[in-house]
Structure 1
């Protein structure tokens, strides 16, 4: 290949900029032309494509968000929209594309692949819910943001002897709730992958109170229910008063952690290597602490996200 492009799509995640930087600089190192596609798949349809140089990605490795910006595109979901996208790639002489994003972004790349466009996909989502990889870009940074919030909220919970419910992101995946709850010492963690019993939650709270505990922290992933709904349920079930904190989009922002910067650099570089080898329809990820690439189809084989059940079991054992 002589010319490739890179785009970011879907929800932003800390470390996306580090991945873009790696793609651009690795491409130039390999004597490839590299173009940036702005505003995701919609920008591709609209022809928002610019050649990038070394200096284009200077001073971005530590920045959150994405310099290429991101956007949802209903037009790309149509056959006509995808035809326009492919036409733009051909018009600009682009022979391969690196897509940085989550599940929806990967699906877009899969459609381009079926139309003959070689794609290498880099997983970037704070939910950590891409099949085939142990870690996605942004998960570690978001996790540290949540843990920082838990530590601060616990200070207030202790001072006022209250039970706090902290709602975190995770519509279909509970990794963020599970890891932050375990690291933050939460008494109860509710995730989409595991059924819950409100009476068991009540018993845990009462057991803590019975041994003199003055405060409690409950972590709930948004995919289970909202923090407000859980607070209402606890009040109606056992007359337990709580306070609710919804962390929301703060989890997506901020400077990426060192770990996210490193894996973003590794993933981005491997994506360029894959395209230079003339391969497409490939996802990049980490398996057993090694950066690997694997067929993009494997991302969609199993639709139900799974968490580390042993980690979940451990969280319950340590929160007695």
Structure 2
């Protein structure tokens, strides 16, 4: 292997730049040539490729987003588009490809591997929804962004003795809501894995008011429903003023946390190691504190195990 390519795909996540930096500098240290691919699979198909050096990744470790940009690509979903992408890699002499992204990005890497491309995936998504790895790059930073928002919302919610419903991202994975709700002392955490009962929720709010609670903070994962709709239902039943806050894409931005920077460094270095070992169709991740690599098909088919114990702790501490 002499030349590797690197791209970021799907939703951006804090720490992607740190991962790019780790991949580029590790590869250069091993004597490899590095080609940056802009705008994900779309840029690959269109040949938006340039050579990267150490200076290319200077002063980016603290920056959110991705310097390589990211984009959706409908053409890549077709067999013809993927074959074109594989040909472009060959034209630029790229022997191995590092893909930083989530499950959709990994699916693309898997399909390219079936065309003979040596591809390795690095998990970069705030959702933390890749079951084979305990943590994905960007999750910790997004979690802390949500926690900071919750702390601020709690101040105004207490002042007005209101109920606040805070909607967070995560698609169909409730990890951001669960971890943020537990860390932020939320009265209720509503996640796709468990759902909720409106009557029970409203009863808890009313009973809390009788005990002298000044406010109620509810953290809602986007995969369950909308905050505006839930706030309206709660106010209709309880008669307590209820406000909804949708944090949205603020969760994807910001300087990555120390945890995400270190995770990105470890996974980036491991990705190059895997390519140099001649492995194909792999992903890297972290499990029990150790960096691992796994077959990409096995990783994508791994069923996610919900942390019932953590949910029970959050529920018990909310009363």
Counterpart position of 1:312: 311
CA distance in 1, matches of 2:213, 2:12: 39
Task: Please give the per-residue CA displacement for 1:218-277, whole angstroms capped at 9, x wherever unaligned.
Answer: 000111011001112213333343011110000000000000000000001100110011
1:73 is displaced (CA, Å) by 0.2
The aligned residue for residue 67 of structure 1 is 67
Instruction: Indicate conservation of the 8 Å contact 1:193/1:306, yes or no.
Output: no
User: How many Å separate the matches in 2 of 1:97 and 1:219?
Assistant: 38
Q: How many residues are paired up?
A: 319
Match of 1:155 in 2: 155
Please state whether the residue corresponding to 1:167 is helix, strand or coil.
Answer: strand
Distance in 2 (CA, whole Å) between partners of 1:30 and 1:266 is 16
Asked whether the equivalents of residues 206 and 238 of structure 2 are also in contact (C-alpha less than 8 Å), the reply is: no
Q: CA deviation at 1:158?
A: 1.2
Q: Deviations over 1:188-220 (max 9, x none)?
A: 000011121111111211121011011110000
Is residue 272 of structure 2 the alignment partner of residue 272 of structure 1? yes
Unaligned runs of 5+ in 2: none
Find the residue that maps to 1:18 and give its secondary structure.
helix
Q: Pairwise CA RMSD of aligned residues?
A: 0.9
Contact 2:35 2:51 in 1 (8 A): yes
SS for the counterpart of 2:36 is strand
Contact 2:132-2:302 within 8 A present in 1 as well: no
Alpha carbons 2:131, 2:305 under 8 Å: kept: no
Contact 1:137 1:264 in 2 (8 A): yes
TM-score w.r.t. length of structure 1? 0.98
Where does structure 1 lack aligned partners over 5 or more consecutive residues?
Answer: none
CA shift for structure 1 position 107: 0.4
* Distance (whole Å) between structure 2 residues aligned to residue 141 and residue 311 of structure 1: 19
Distance across 1 between alignment mates of 2:54 and 2:19 = 14
Q: Are 2:195 and 2:224, in contact at CA under 8 Å, matched by a contact in 1?
A: no
SS in 2 for 1:278: coil
Name the CA distance, whole Å, in 2 between partners of 1:299 and 1:202.
40
Corresponding position of 2:260: 260
The Cα of 1:64 is off from its aligned counterpart by 0.2
Which residue of the partner structure matches residue 205 of structure 1? 205
SS of match in other structure, 1:201 = helix
For residue 219 of structure 1, give the secondary structure of its aligned residue in structure 2.
Answer: strand
Equivalence map 1:223-242=2 (5 Å): 223-242=223-242
Q: C-alpha separation between the residues in 2 aligned to 1:235 and 1:254?
A: 33
Instruction: Compute the displacement of 1:300 (Å).
Output: 2.2
Distance in 2, Cα, partners of 1:302 & 1:136: 15
Q: Which residue of 2 aligns with 1:193?
A: 193
CA distance in structure 2 between the partners assigned to 1:241 and 1:197 by the alignment: 20
**Aligned positions of 1:101-180 closer than 5 A:** 101-180=101-180
Runs of 4+ in 1 over 4 A off after TM superposition: none
